[in-house]
Amino acid sequence: MLNSYAQQNIDSSPRIVIVGGGAAGLELATRLGNGAGKARRAQIVLLDRYPTHFWKPLLHEVASGQIDASSHQIDFAAHAKWNHFRFEQGALAGIDRDRREIVIDETKDVDGRVLLPRRTLAFDTLVLALGSVTNFFSISGAADHALTLETVDQAETFRRRLVSSLLRASHARQATPGAASTPVSVTIIGAGATGVELASALRGSAQRVRDDHMASLDPATDIRIRLLEGAPRVLPALPERISARAQDVLAGLGVDVRLGCRVQSVGAETVATADGETLASDITIWAAGVEGPPVLRQLAGLPLNRLGQVIVDGTLQVENDSDIYAMGDCAACTASKGEALVPPRAQAAHQQAVYLADALMRRLDNRDVPHFSYRDQGTLISFGDAGAAGALMSELLRGPLFIEGWFAASCYRHLYRRHIIGLTGIRRAAMYGAIQWLRQRVRPTVKLN
Ligand SMILES: Cc1cc2nc3c(=O)[nH]c(=O)nc-3n(C[C@H](O)[C@H](O)[C@H](O)COP(=O)(O)OP(=O)(O)OC[C@H]3O[C@@H](n4cnc5c(N)ncnc54)[C@H](O)[C@@H]3O)c2cc1C
């Protein structure tokens, strides 16, 4: 017998349950909370498996130790209170479409003790915003031996391994000065945005670790960074001009980029390529693609594409259920020019959250709901200390506007600021910014512990 929260729904207003408090879900909950929730037109409930929100595009900075994740996390429970919605912690385990309920797995604390039992939660409207997981493409050993960058915990695991390896390399140099050292080898599989940004940030981190903490470390030779890509160029999904710029920057940073390189298997300390080479790798990170979260395959009757994403129509409604919506990385939506799938990106998550907040308010008022249409506003890639590059798109411009240097770097920073302002408003965002700035000045330049 499951505990049920359905009976607690004594308020007769409709209940909108949003599952997943990431870039898409938290923005939607905030907008709906301040609209329908505040006006008591609907009860807004957000469910997430974690107690805090973290903006995923910053994960490579956590992995390279350049930021402390705790300074950038938003506490769901407090944020819910300030923005007129309710927060529930737990992982979605099932949907009972006949009873209009979701099943939430039991929630445990950090010591593994049960905080909340397995339970159900009734909904009138359900929005799935579960994000994506790493797609290992069935490559042998990849899931067991490669690290991934999906969550703060995973980024922290990578950082800890990196710092330990650098410490060992530094001590080895001190112990036997002048002796040839064995570099720490980091292999990044996939030269999309995540792989390129991580490779660039790592070289900068090694430099800072040497400057501020381990004088005996040689950042150029004590860490070997390899970036393996199956396509003929880095950033294969972006315009060639950005790829070429990234290629130059990576060469300047001494990153060993191997193009047209297919990975065949991943071992505990090796990566084997399809052309027969076995590369030694102390730390291997998989950044080569995403797919829908496995839980979606267990939810009976949801239409999924071959990547396990929920197929939605032009209003983000699930094809066979007008009370269930999906958005962000977990949704397969063809609402961009040329009918290509909307890409799994933060700007798509933001645009869908803005759209769905308006669409669900219209639905409450029985007003017509227009179709969602995705506008590609361009892409920016950060090279860490080496700046940024990208292309901005606008209806006023006939083609993409390529930018780089400080202007591109400040546009890149602006994306995160815009996300925080959208969630918290300008005043609170300014306070967060000030706190982050101050904390940055009283902590090591690379997080060591
Ligand atoms: C390292 C990295 C760098 C990136 N850089 C960029 C970039 O520079 N620009 C860009 O546009 N995009 C970037 N992206 C992609 C971008 O982060 C995603 O497209 C965006 O976060 C998708 O938003 P979302 O809300 O769909 O999913 P997410 O932001 O991933 O949120 C999903 C939420 O669902 C929760 N959840 C998952 N499963 C369950 C469950 N069973 N029950 C309850 N809750 C659950 C998670 O805890 C999470 O809070 C990057 C991604 C990564 C990993």
**178-229: per-residue pLDDT in tens?**
766 788 999 999 999 999 999 999 988 888 888 877 788 888 888 999 999 9
Regarding whether 161 and 122 lie in a shared domain, the answer is no
Task: Kindly report the CATH number assigned to the domain that includes residue 84.
Answer: 3.50.50.60
State which of 358, 375, 392 marks the end of a domain: 375
Q: Is residue 195 in contact with ligand 1, taking CB distance under 6 Å?
A: no
- Does residue 418 lie within any of the structural domains? no
Regarding whether 161 and 58 lie in a shared domain, the answer is no
Q: CA-CA-CA-CA torsion for 67, 68, 70, 71, nearest 10 degrees?
A: -60
Regarding whether 125 and 37 lie in a shared domain, the answer is yes
Regarding whether 307 and 225 lie in a shared domain, the answer is no
**122-140: per-residue pLDDT in tens?**
999 999 999 999 999 999 9
- Does residue 385 lie within any of the structural domains? no
**373-389: per-residue pLDDT in tens?**
999 889 999 999 889 99
Regarding whether 267 and 246 lie in a shared domain, the answer is yes
Regarding whether 171 and 241 lie in a shared domain, the answer is yes
Distance from C-alpha of 435 to C-alpha of 449, rounded to nearest angstrom = 20
Question: Containing domain of residue 222, as a range?
Answer: 142-288
Ligand 1 atom at minimal distance to the Cα of residue 353: 25
Pairing mode, strands 270-273 and 263-266? antiparallel
- Residue in the structure block whose two tokens are 């030694």: 280
Within 10 angstroms of residue 174's Cβ, the number of other Cβ atoms is: 11
Regarding whether 25 and 128 lie in a shared domain, the answer is yes
Tally of domains within the chain? 2
**309-324: per-residue pLDDT in tens?**
999 999 999 988 999 9
- Write the CB contacts of 292 (distance below 8 Å, at least 6 apart in sequence): 130, 132, 133, 304, 305, 307, 308, 309, 310, 329, 330
- Does residue 80 lie within any of the structural domains? yes
Token pair listed for 282: 């102390």
Site to probe by mutation for ligand 1, drawn from 152, 345, 347 as the one with most ligand atoms within 8 Å of Cβ, is: 345
**257-282: per-residue pLDDT in tens?**
999 999 999 999 999 999 999 999 99
> CA of 388: how far to CAs of 63, 109, 230, in Å?
18, 39, 23
Ligand 1 atom at minimal distance to the Cα of residue 329: 26
Token pair listed for 64: 């390279």
